[in-house]
Structure 1
Amino acid sequence: MDNLEKLRNEQPPATRQVRLDHHDSVRSHVHQRVSTEVERLERRIEALRFAKAPHVAVMITAYERMIDRKKGFLQNWELDEWRHY
């Protein structure tokens, strides 16, 4: 605790500046990341459809739910129609 208090006393409080140009960058990154995750899950599902392993149906169902949630996230945050400029 003493070290934390020393750090607080030594460093002046930083003023946080909002940088609006970062907002688009973050939205773009999140859209790209989630879209890539959806694509990977879709490829896994396609690979599993050809597999003769037990519990394939359960795994496919779980992946489909994950895809639905990720697509829902994109829609809720209006990232599903995000355009890269």
Structure 2
Amino acid sequence: MEKTDPPRQAQTRRSVRLDQHESVRSHVRDQVRSEVERLERRIETLRLTRAPHADIMISTYERLLDRKKGFLQNWDLKDGGVY
């Protein structure tokens, strides 16, 4: 006897709140933290160079960094990290 999938309508009715699942929170936390680390490295690299627009790029990266850190804090994704 073949198994049949439940009707599509039943699957679409169910709403899932992704922010309540620890695996999703963990994935988002890890992803944003790695982005923060990359931005911090880029800023340090730019501080060591004499590129003509380095100051503008540093300022932009610092704003991105502040937003990402704010995101981690607002969603309570900080847990003992440097951020």
TM-score of the pair, normalised by structure 2: 0.75
Q: Which runs of 5+ in 1 are unaligned?
A: 1-10
Shift of 1:27: 0.1
Q: Which runs of 5+ in 2 are unaligned?
A: 1-6
Find the counterpart in structure 2 of residue 32 from structure 1.
30
- Spell out structure 1 runs of 4+ moving beyond 2 A: 14-20
Find the counterpart in structure 1 of residue 39 from structure 2.
41
Counterpart Cα distance in 1 of 2:74 and 2:16 = 24
Matched length = 72
Larger Rg: 1
Counterpart Cα distance in 2 of 1:17 and 1:62 = 37
Q: Match of 2:38, as an amino acid?
A: R
What percent of counterpart residues are identical?
62
Find the counterpart in structure 2 of residue 57 from structure 1.
55
TM-score of the pair, normalised by structure 1: 0.73
